[in-house]
Every structure is written in structure tokens, then in C-alpha cells.
Amino acid sequence: MREYGSNINLPSLDNLFSSEQERQDAKLEKIQILPLTELHPFRNHPFQVRDDDEMNKMVDSVKEYGVMTPAIVRPRKYGGYEIVAGHRRCHASQRAGVETMPCIVRDMDDDTAIILMVDSNCQREHILPSEKAKAYQMKLEAVKRKAGRPSKINSGQVGQNFTQPFSVEKVADEAGESVKQVQRFIRLNKLTPELMKMVDKQYQATLKKNSYVDGKFDEDLYQVLSISFLVALSKFKV
């Protein structure tokens, strides 16, 4: 004889007293203190982690206060976690002799991770042309895949493919750049590695040489020169 109620699944107290959004947020945002040994760089990460003055300041801050802003990581298939946002914080922690770091563990697909990785890093200052070139191309391809469109970039002029306008405009808008500027950066990816290094080196040398007014570093002038350098560079066929 069948027992009534034997197959009824009752909701937990957490489900009864929390909204669907809260339950989804609980799944997404899990802050954990993770060992640095379990954190791995993002695959094909386009941004360099440099031991410059800014990094030295970050190391001093970590030594005194710890990592104030958690990194964002996602679980890896074969164990450990892939850093989506927080490579510099991780490096600073290693230099500071810290063994763990607070992280937000978030499950996300590859394209979502790429977009978040690019957006979080493009907020930094003093990004090299090669870094933006690779980052914008990665994000452009990810945006197109998420929109269900072909991901292959036209081998000719960026913007000629019928799938390009919407995607390029989205990348440009979210980066605070013009569409033409994003296209110029992406075209730099056609350079050989040796030429790309020369571009970065000349870019840094030009900015450092011309960004001082009366012995003081002028941030506004630095930004103007950044744009001017890229505009001049775009006139070369690469």
C-alpha cells in the first residue's frame, strides 16, 4: 500500500526565508581565504605583472594591511583556482611573504571570465599598447561568441565583417574608448612580437620623456601623449 507523502520533498528553512536572487548570490559570491599555491594565472592573460613603483607600494600595503579587496577566481577543472581579477594582488602577496589571500569564488564560463578579466584590468592606468591590443581582441571575440556569432576576426580591416559593428561598439563603449581607437589597438596584433616590444618600449620612453612639466609628473599630459602616440602609430600599415 502506498504511503501518502513519502515522495514529497520539503524545502529547507533557508529556501523558505530567502529569495531566489539571494540564493543565486550565495552560490556566486563565496569569499574564501585561499592558499596562494592554489591560485593560477588566467590562461593567455594579456596584462603584464611588473615589479615597478606601483607594485612596490602595493607590497608595502599588503605587509601592513593585508589584501583589502578580494580577488575574483573560478574553480579549475583539475583542481585549484584560475585568477580572473587579482593577478597583481597575488604577486604582491607573494613578495610580501603572505601565504593566503581573500578570494571571491565564482563559477563562470570562459567568455564571461574573459570579459570580466579585461574589464577589471582596463581600469588601471599606464597600460601598454600590446596589453590593450590583446585584451580588446580577446574581449571582442568573447562578446561575439556570447551573442552567438562567429568569433573569427576578419583578416582585413577590423569592422568590415558584418558581425563587427555591434561587438566593437560594445567593447569601445564599455572601455570608454572610441570605436576607431579600439580598432587601432586590435590592428597592433598583426605586429611581430619583436615589433610589439619596440612599440611598448618607445611608448614608455616617449611618455616618460614628455610627461614632466617643471620637474613634476603631469598626469593629464601623460594621457594626452598616450592618445597622440597611438593615433600616430595607427597611420602605419601593420
CA angle 59, 64, 65 (to 5 degrees): 100
pTM for this predicted structure: 0.70
Right CATH number for 22-108 from 3.20.20.150, 3.60.10.10, 3.90.1150.10, 3.90.1530.10?
A: 3.90.1530.10
Helix (H) or strand (E) holding 230: helix 219-234
Please state, in angstroms and rounded to a whole number, the distance separating the CA atoms of residues 188 and 232. Answer: 13
Q: Kindly list the domain boundaries of the chain, sorted by start residue.
A: 22-108, 112-234
What is the 3-state secondary structure of 142-167? HHHHHCCCCCCCCCCCCCCCCCHHHH
| Dihedral angle of Cα 120, 123, 127, 130, to the nearest 10 degrees | 50
Other beta carbons within 10 angstroms of residue 203's beta carbon come to 18
- Give me the tens of pLDDT residue by residue for the chain, a chain 238 residues long: 555 544 555 554 444 444 555 555 555 577 899 999 999 999 999 999 999 899 999 999 999 999 999 999 999 998 999 999 999 999 999 999 999 999 999 999 999 999 999 999 887 777 888 999 999 999 999 999 988 755 454 444 444 444 455 789 999 898 888 888 888 888 888 888 888 888 888 777 776 666 555 555 555 555 655 665 666 565 555 4
Whether the CB-CB separation of 37 and 77 falls below 8 Å is answered with: no
Give the β-pairing of 81-85 and 39-40.
Answer: parallel
Please state, in angstroms and rounded to a whole number, the distance separating the CA atoms of residues 26 and 45. Answer: 28
Whether the CB-CB separation of 82 and 73 falls below 8 Å is answered with: yes
